[in-house]
Structure 1
Amino acid sequence: MNGYRFSMLFFIALVFVPLVALAAPQKGEPAPPFKVTSTTGQQIVLSDYRGKVLLLEFFTTWCSSCKDSVSHLVKLHQKYEKQGLQVLGLNLDDDGVKIVREFATANRLNYPVALAGESMQTDYGLRSVPTLYVIGKKGLIAEKFMGYNEEVEKRLDLLLRKLLSE
């Protein structure tokens, strides 16, 4: 019976995981619209960022790579905010706003953070954390990064400089 269950789960994953990947917005496509509430109670919608370069980071408080990425995003936001970069942290934890606020304070986040609901997670085709989407000034997906390391840092910095100069 256990072999049967494993086979069924494997089959289901084989069929549906590619469908989720197809649902993720691709480079050059419009970013899916969203409406979230920040941890400070501010309503945030995608259209608020029209004409700006937006960096969305989907993260959790327990993910070590996420902690590395938020540290770098704080620096990027500080460096490029005056040139038009906006950063929005989107948390996927089920633990609620209090834990996310504590994480934001402990990591000195200098950008808004909100909880990403299930519909937003689906719209953006999330499969891992951290996942970063870079959205250009016209609202199109410029790039998607899954995971975080030094190579992502370098590519992200180059891309942001390019987009901000357009």
Structure 2
Amino acid sequence: MQMLRLSRLFVAAAALLVLGLPARAHAIPQKGQPAPAIKVVSTSGQQISLANYKGYVLVVDFFATWCPPCREAIPHLNSLNKKYGKQGLQVLGLSLDEGDEGGVKEFIASKRISYPVALASQDVQTDYGLRSLPTVYVINKKGVVADKFMGGSEETLRNMEALIKKLLAEQ
């Protein structure tokens, strides 16, 4: 009897896992798909929505203040923002430092971050399928995912900049 109960429990758990996987996998945005909605409030109190960035190339940087590769990528993102901002590039930082807005504000000041930063809600984190940090999504002028970059290697940063230049040149 005990064995039968355990086997039924196992089958039920396996079914839930299998049924839940497609929904979760579907939630992770892929190249060519519309970017999931973003609705957050920046650390300066500004309401931010993905809709605000239609017509711009948008770099969405998911980071954490405690993540060394994230910290190393920030100067590059500042540079991209300065270099391509007048051509239509926007950068948005979304911090995964839960409940530590004060610490994030100090981090922004210490790194001299030149673009809006907000705390990423759990919904946004789930919708973007975050598995590692830093994760950067590049979204085209129409609000479609152009690519996703993970990590902060020099090659990754070069590839991201090449894509940004290409997207900015598109009409």
Q: What is the aligned partner in structure 1 of residue 92 from structure 2?
A: 88
Letter in 2 for 1:55: V
- Structure 2: unaligned runs, 5 residues or longer: 1-9
Question: What are the Cα deviations for residues 61-99 of structure 1, in whole angstroms up to 9, with x where unaligned?
Answer: 000000111110000000000000000000001242101
Q: What is the aligned partner in structure 2 of residue 67 from structure 1?
A: 71
Letter in 2 for 1:107: K
* Number of aligned residue pairs: 156
Task: State the identity as a percent.
Answer: 54
Q: What's the C-alpha RMSD, in Å, of the aligned pairs?
A: 1.9
Q: Structure 1-normalised TM-score?
A: 0.88
Secondary structure (helix, strand or coil) at the match of 2:160 reads helix
Offset at residue 146 of structure 1 (A)? 1.2
Q: What is the aligned partner in structure 1 of residue 153 from structure 2?
A: 149
Secondary structure (helix, strand or coil) at the match of 1:101 reads helix
Distance 1:125 1:85 in 2: 24
User: Measured at CA, do residues 18 and 146 of structure 1 come closer, stay the same or move farther in structure 2, by a change above 3 Å?
Assistant: farther
Q: What is the aligned partner in structure 1 of residue 6 from structure 2?
A: none
Offset at residue 125 of structure 1 (A)? 0.6
Letter in 2 for 1:124: Y
Distance 1:99 1:34 in 2: 22
Does 1:117 find its partner at 2:121? Answer: yes
Distance 1:19 1:66 in 2: 29
Distance 1:132 1:72 in 2: 12
Secondary structure (helix, strand or coil) at the match of 2:136 reads strand
Q: What is the aligned partner in structure 2 of residue 48 from structure 1?
A: 52
Q: What is the aligned partner in structure 2 of residue 99 from structure 1?
A: 103
- Structure 1: unaligned runs, 5 residues or longer: 1-7
Q: Structure 2-normalised TM-score?
A: 0.85
